[in-house]
Chains A and B, each alone.
Chain A
């Protein structure tokens, strides 16, 4: 089955530094990738939608200058948390699909646990 790989699985960084998270589709071309964050015991919150080769569309309340998303190829999207602060500590998850149909499967990565100290 389709696989989405997310890296790193865990990262600890100091306040003020930037962290980059990668999301790769290993066996399909992902025309669209989504980024979410998830707080403990809560469901996923969509942060942004990125289509290959174009700028990401951010959800209301998500700072695009803080959460930089790049989707330069059909197999790779990156999320960079800039100038991270402790309140950015969360579980970040990506998902990917090939948007040939609205019923296209949506495959998730295994998430990245970010801890900002």
Chain B
């Protein structure tokens, strides 16, 4: 069964600190893995997309890693800001054409001053 599990479920950190969110998946065949940021009451916004051959990808203060062997990904946020408070969703594309999207439940991050 295709599954995407994210941890922790929620996280509170102080402004300026770093944090790492985890995503483990059991999806086959694997096409790509995406990280999205979703503000409350808004649609998700893409942060990164990685194929199996990519180990790391950065987007500003966001850095995603992918280990296709262990089927794990992480999203590292550097020097957190209050505006980073959101839900972070890991999405894995499965299937030969990558047309089956499997969503994680998300990690709710709260950055406080």
The 8 Å CB contact of B51, one of A43, A93, A103, is: A103
Query: B98 interface residue, CB < 8 Å from A?
Result: yes
Interface of B is mostly: strand
Interface size on B, residues (CB 8 A): 24
Q: What is the interface residue range for chain A against chain B?
A: 20 to 34
Q: Are A108 and B32 in contact (CB under 8 A)?
A: no
* Cβ < 8 Å to B, chain A residues 40-93: 41-46, 49, 91, 93
The 8 Å CB contact of A34, one of B42, B46, B101, is: B101
Query: A6 interface residue, CB < 8 Å from B?
Result: yes
Chain B residue, CB-CB nearest to A57? B99
Q: Are B31 and A102 in contact (CB under 8 A)?
A: yes
Closest Cβ of chain A to B71, distance in Å, is: 18
Query: A106 interface residue, CB < 8 Å from B?
Result: yes
- Residues in A neighbouring B101, C-beta threshold 8 A: 34, 46, 106
**A→B interface (CB under 8 Å):** 4, 6, 32, 34, 41-46, 49, 91, 93, 95, 99, 102-103, 105-111, 113
**B→A interface (CB under 8 Å):** 31-32, 34, 36, 41-46, 49, 51, 89, 91, 93, 97-99, 101, 103-106, 108
Query: Can you show 13 pairs from A to B with CB atoms below 8 A apart?
Result: A4-B43, A44-B44, A46-B101, A46-B103, A102-B31, A102-B98, A103-B31, A103-B49, A103-B51, A105-B49, A107-B46, A109-B43, A110-B42
